[in-house]
Amino acid sequence: ETARVAFTLNGEPCDLTLDTRTTLLDALREHLHLTGTKKGCDQGQCGACTVIVNGARINACLSLAIMHEGDTVTTIEGLGTPEDLHPMQAAFVKHDGYQCGYCTPGQICSAVSVLQEIAAGVPSHVTGDLTAAMEPSNLEMRERMSGNICRCGAYSNIAQAMAEAAA
Ligand code: FES
């Protein structure tokens, strides 16, 4: 069964007719050819597919495209351009917040949302002894980013980039 869905994508109107079972991730990558958003696990565990919908981050692999009628969707392609990087992108470049880069679009979309969550007063859930040696702000950034996995282990640099972007 197919259905039609219309939403705003990176500031532009977008109108699609697709199989009702198509995830937002597959709609972005396969139908709209926006391949900046990555597919890692396709089951909500890695964060590579993170996009921003109506101002909040979601895993695009866990969401059906047809659920997004009227929504405002922002992907990594909508945050900045090579000539005019978003401040978070520039901070990731400056602090080497990546190695292979596969998780980076999701990391950056998530990081942008995290700063908005902090500004909006959304609480974090920092607990435990493992992280006790870290600075509280660093600890909070890491906890908030814990849904975005990086196999290269760029976590420290990502936290540094976020701290700079937040300053
Ligand atoms: Fe969506 Fe891994 S691809 S969380």
Domain extents in the chain: 2-78, 87-166
Closest ligand 1 atom to residue 46 Cα is 2
Residue 152 neighbours by CB under 8 Å, 6+ apart: 98, 99, 100
Question: 2-78 in CATH: which number?
Answer: 3.10.20.30
Mean pLDDT by 10 residues, the chain (167 residues): 98 98 98 98 98 97 98 97 96 97 98 92 66 65 93 93 91
**Looking at the domain 87-166, which fold is it?**
DNA polymerase; domain 1 (1.10.150)
In this structure, the residues whose C-beta lies within 6 A of any atom of ligand 1 are 39-42, 44-49, 59, 61
pTM of the prediction?
0.93
Please report the ipTM that was assigned to this predicted complex.
0.98
- pLDDT at position 75 is 98
Please state the length of the chain. Answer: 167
Residue 53 neighbours by CB under 8 Å, 6+ apart: 24, 63, 68, 71, 72, 73, 74
Distance of CA 139 from the midpoint of ligand 1 (Å):
23
